[in-house]
Every structure is written in structure tokens, then in C-alpha cells.
A and B are shown apart, each in its own frame.
Chain A
Amino acid sequence: MLSVEPDILTDLPWGQLLVNGLALGSLYALTAFGIVLIFKTTQVITFAQGETAMFSTFVAFTLLTVFQLPFAVAFALTLLFAGLFGALIERVVLRHISTTTILNPVIVTVGLSLILLGAAGWIWGYEIRTFPAPAAGPPFRIGTVVVSQLNAVIFAVTLALMGVLYAFFRYTRTGIAMRAVSQNRTAAQLMGISINRMNALGWGMGTAMGAVTGMLIAPLNYLDPGMMGDVALKAFAAAVVGGLTSLPGAVVGGLLLGIFDSVVGFQVPELRNTIAFSLIVLVLVVRPGGLLGKHEVKKV
């Protein structure tokens, strides 16, 4: 049978959409790492990850512009700030929250995100600023597909961090201790591991991860208190789809979501979030523990 209609599927710039999706997806994955890290050690799902990342990025921006520090120095100082900031959040807020109901940490981290959002708006305002890119230069071209240097850097950083964190949890004493805490708090405590210290460390590392994310995302879009809103939401989804405890799961979830976003966003931009969230609900209903996570059945 002859068809006169153009074939819609082959007419799409599939290669470019795929690359864009992977770039977008690595942002989601990168942000999701922080959420996974914090959940893995403290069993708290943070709704504040996007906002701590945004806040840290503003700190970096201040170091760069007000204090005129070189990028590498500002980057390092921001990581340090974020690490301490995360630990402080754990020490001052979360340690005092009763976890008898699962709602409490959710409510508290929602509260944290609001405070950070308002504080950033207060301190830095809502004017849109540009953040210097760590990698600028002509984009790579592969055939008709264009990859910006920044996107390539983001992709590389995502994979590298996944590797580093994987090794950290597997081979270092601290990493193993953190895993032990997440698996059995009482047993870990009996082994002499300080739960409080591990929780603070988890928050510190997770927030520092967020700072890295923020500093990579800001040059891509712009810098403003709302910059992480959409990304954080998708990152959240990526973490949940991936299974919340699995770093590779977060990458798989993030990349899938990114590609999906890029392809669907290309055709029905209005429904990007709607379709993405329907998909998440579907995944969770079929696999309540996420794609690569373990679903824990409560013992009777």
C-alpha cells in the first residue's frame, strides 16, 4: 500500500532529541544523587534538595562576583560551605524531629525548602543572572547532532560521580559504615558506629552533591531562586523511579526521564510534566520499589 503522508517518526530529529535528552537526564540524575545519598544514610526523603543546591550556587556566585575569586577556588569553597551547611541542617533541624511518622520528615524538608527559597529571594532577589560556565567553547558536532561542551562536561561529571560514590560506598570504611546504618540502625550502633555522625555526614555529602549540580545547571539556564524547581522535581522522580537507594537506578531513572522529556517536550511541550508524572505513577504501581530498588515488605 502506498502512503502519501510523510512518516512522522523518521522526520523527527531523533539523534538531536536523544542527545538533548541525555544532557537533560544527566542533570536529573546528578540532582537525584544527593536525594539518594541522603535517603541511603538517613532514611529521610528530602524535598529540599533543589533549594539547598540553589542556595549553594548563589554562594558560589557571590564568591565569584563579589569576592572575584577564581572559579576553582570558588568551586572548592562552595563545596565546603555546602557540606557544612548540610551537616548543620541535620544537626539543628532533623535530629530533633521525631520519625515515628513518615510524614514528619517530609513536612520538615518541605518547610526547609520554603525557607531557603524565601531567603534566597530576599538576599539575592529575582533578577535573572548568568553564571559562568566551567566549559565554554565551540560545540562538538557529530553529523547533524550538536553537543555543547557544557553538556558533555555534565554528562562526564555524572558518570564520574556515580563511579566515585559507588567506590566510596563499597571500599571506604566510612562508606561501608553509612551503608550499615541504612540497613540496620541498631546493629550499626552496636558495632560502634555513631548514627548521628553518619546522618550529618550523609546530609553534608548530599548537600555538597547538590552544590555541584547547581553550579553545573546555573550556566545552562540562568541563576535565580526558582532555577531548581523543575529540575529538582524531575530529579525526585528519577530517584523514586530508580528505587531511591540505588545510584545506578538514579542514573537510569534520570536518563529515561530526560529522553522522555526531550521527545515529548518536543511534541507536546505543555504536557511534559503531566506525562512524566503519569509515567512515574505507572512505574511505582507496577514496581513499588522502583526499577532497581528493593521493595521492602513489612514483616507481620
Chain B
Amino acid sequence: MTGPLLEITDLTIRFGGLVAVDGLDLRVNAGEIVGLIGPNGAGKTTVFNCISRFYQPDRGTIRFKGRDITSSRSHEIIRFGIARTFQNVELCRSMTALENLLVGQHVAMRGGVIRDGLRLPGVGADEARATQRADEMLELLGLTRDRDRVVSTLPFGLQKLVELGRALVSDPALLLLDEPTAGADKQEIQGLADLIRRMRDRFDLSVLVVEHDMSFVMGLCDRLSVLDFGRRIAEGAPADVRNDPAVIEAYLGEPEVEVTEV
């Protein structure tokens, strides 16, 4: 495959009078870890929600592996190879960690209510395969002990790990991470950066990460894209972006009024 893995051109979306994302161009190449950063309310999560097809952009195209996915449905995205996590963790709260990871393999398994209800041949084998895969992932993330615990009873940090595992177990080509450091302390943040890099190498991933913790993305990302008020104000290697006057201005002059992040 030639060309970028993910290519966003001229992405624009408005909520009422507010332009949340304004003419954004963004690329993620195979194997890259790209950071999408910016002050609160800059529109970062909105970009994710456009890629995940929860929001319909007013203008612009999103291409993945060369294919236009701008009008795909939200549940098709994971099939194309894009998996994501959420800022505030969206797990199936009544399920165990293991079950969440089985949900992560939803599209990889054959469905059908009659097939399930009659336990047609193959159902048991499918389940066993998926369970084995989920167990491997749990082990990799150090979650084996919490395998059978209901996720709503797990501490937030572990919930975030389960969510990461659920995304990874779907075998994505591109992983979208929304604020992975939220709620984590300094030490955990360092571990998280290592973990993401390890996962990238192991699963041959590309990663697009939304963050506002600058030091975290500086250490982690190959390339950064900086958003402010929905517009891209800088792009490049972390070191260059750090010294960009527009970026400094955006961060220092961060407005007091917080625009609601949608």
C-alpha cells in the first residue's frame, strides 16, 4: 500500500453557530504514532468522533487505506481496522474484563441468532478461539488477575487498560486513543508511553492519540498536529512544534472560558 494510512482533508463540522473543527488536514502513515494536541475545547475529540462516524462532518473527506469512509456507518469502522478508546471510558460496565474483550472481537466472530440459539457446529470453537485470544491480551496487559471481575468494580486505571485491550483485540491497523493519561499519575504516564510503543511494535499498529499532556506526547509521538479553536496551527516533529510561537501562544493564552467539548 502506498500513501498514508489515514488521510483527512478539509474536515469541517459545526454545532449550531460554533465551528468545532475548521478545514482540518491530517495524515497518519503506517507505523506512525501521531499526536493530536491542543487546549481544551480545541476540537480534538470531535475529530475522533468524525473518524468513528459518530458525527457527520459538514465538509471534508476521511480516507482510510485509500478508501473513502466519510459516509460509512459507525459500526463498520472497526471492520475497516480502526479501533478506539474513549476519554471517559466506555466499557460494558456489567460485563467482566474477559467479556469486554470478547465484545472487542464482535466483528471477527460469525454471528446469527439462530446459529447461536441452536449451538450450530462451530459456535463452541469460535467462542473458545475468541476466549483464548482475549486471555492472551489480558496477560499481555497484566490483567489476568482481573479477568473475571465486573469492570465497573475495577479502579479507573484498570478500566482504561481493559478498554485498551478491547480495542487491541480487534486487531486494528489504526488505534485511536482519546486522552490515555486522564486520571493517571506521573509514574503511570511514563509506563503508558512505553506500553503504547510496545503495542505499536508488537501489533504493527499506527496510533493517533489525543492528549493535552504535552510532556507525554513529546516523548511518545513521531509527529504532532496542534489544534486550536478547531484549526490546525502547527504540525511537525515534537521538538519543532514545542518551539512554534503559535503553539506557545495558544497554550499560554488558553482562554478562561471553556468551550464545551462535544
Binding site for B on A (CB under 8 A): 299-300
Contacts and interface: CB of A to CB of B under 8 A. Distances in A.
Interface size class of B (residues with CB under 8 A): under 10
A299 B55 CA distance: 11
Contacts of A300: 45, 49, 52, 54-55, 86, 262
The 4 A-B pairs at the shortest CB distance, nearest first, are namely A300-B54, A300-B49, A299-B262, A300-B86
Contacts of B86: 300
Nearest to B49: A300
Interface in B48-99: 49, 52, 54-55, 86
B45 to A, nearest CB: 7
Interface in B1-57: 45, 49, 52, 54-55
8 contacts: A299-B262, A300-B45, A300-B49, A300-B52, A300-B54, A300-B55, A300-B86, A300-B262
Interface of B: 45, 49, 52, 54-55, 86, 262
Nearest to B260: A299
The SS class assigned to the A binding surface is: loop
Contacts of B55: 300
Contacts of B45: 300
A299 B54 CA distance: 10
A299 B49 CA distance: 10
A157 B54 CA distance: 46
A299 B262 CA distance: 6
Given A299-B262, A300-B55, A300-B86, 5 more contacts: A300-B45, A300-B49, A300-B52, A300-B54, A300-B262
B35 to A, nearest CB: 20
Nearest to B45: A300
B163 to A, nearest CB: 14
Nearest to A297: B262
A300 B84 CA distance: 12
Contacts of B49: 300
Contacts of B54: 300
B93 to A, nearest CB: 9
Nearest to A299: B262
Nearest to B262: A299
A299 B45 CA distance: 11
A299 to B, nearest CB: 6
A193 B258 CA distance: 24
A15 B52 CA distance: 55
A215 B25 CA distance: 65
Nearest to A100: B93
Contacts of A299: 262
B68 to A, nearest CB: 22
A299 B87 CA distance: 11
A300 B53 CA distance: 11
A186 to B, nearest CB: 15
Nearest to B86: A300
B90 to A, nearest CB: 8
Contacts of B262: 299-300
Nearest to B48: A300
A138 B54 CA distance: 61
A299 B15 CA distance: 13
B81 to A, nearest CB: 20
Contacts of B52: 300
A300 B176 CA distance: 14
Nearest to A298: B54
B261 to A, nearest CB: 8
A100 to B, nearest CB: 9
B64 to A, nearest CB: 19
A300 B89 CA distance: 10
A300 B50 CA distance: 11
B144 to A, nearest CB: 29
